[in-house]
Structure 1
């Protein structure tokens, strides 16, 4: 099966639709029991079909924490689509992805270079991991006062000051549209044998149109977090960890 044909598959969606049509008597969460106990206002807002598909991790419907069936296949298709070796679906936004990324890459007392204006989820990841931040300064727009993307030269300056760092972490795209030169930063990080971690929460659409920047994954980033709910069509809190 070729790429286009594979990407037409929607295993998790199809499994949810099938379960909703089975007319089960649910003794599982959520308490609205596939819409049977929902207030009519909620049903009018969400739709009966959406409520029927709102289920927990019941038998044969897979487990997002240990996927083996529909979710596993859906994540494999997502990885192929975004150009990742492996992709995980996240339900707590890119915040949990950024925290997991730092926890996976760093041990307590290890140093990491990252922009001072990085999202607070990365700051939380530092606390959870016990890693030591070495903050890089970012330029800013003098007219608006908005921080721009960190530059390769600043990352290299910090690297020279702190030669024992274990990783570089950057914001790929800011909420205001400033994009880092991920290719240059990636090449420099790898020249120092360091992984590049990218918070690309505001760039999940990159790489899908020639008029947009290339994705961090395609430019050599080692671990990337993207918010599928911010600029793609997923529901709130849906994110991706590659």
Structure 2
């Protein structure tokens, strides 16, 4: 057994580089509704957070319009772009190490539950994962809610037996609110240098293989 009984992973920017598929669906949605195309740096902020929050932040639209944009994005993403992703080099070594050490693996992602199950199964993460929870269809769950669902399913004696691994401030905040420690990864696309000092992390990993030392 390693340092923790349960290791909880984010997906986008932590297990998979999903930028190609997400950005193609975002661009498709923007063009379909005739909105002004965003700069690449702004488009990249759509990766990770709930998609409706990203559209609202970028365009300041009314709730009904944001809902339509979100539905269009989801339809396109699921049918065309979902599997346009690449596992980060070395991440499967980490998963194998955890399974060999008897550590349980959970997934807590802002991806919708059905999308998460499809993409994790396709790339082979499903075979290693004991617990998988994603966002609900209405995106009412916060990241801390999803992490807490993982903790409840694992039936741990204490939240101190778990750690969350992710690439964004949302992941760090969710871990803190759920009462678990946090390990950040800088190889994804969530953390920017100006935000690093705001994050309270047990460790930071610049590449997946480093995670083995911390777990």
TM-score interval, smaller chain: 0.3 to 0.5
Q: Would you tell me which structure has more helix in proportion to its own residues? A: 2
Q: Would you tell me which structure has more strand in proportion to its own residues? A: 2
TM-score between the two structures when normalised by the length of structure 1: 0.33
The higher radius of gyration belongs to 1
Return the structure number with greater relative CO, CA threshold 8 A, min gap 6.
Answer: 2
TM-score between the two structures when normalised by the length of structure 2: 0.36
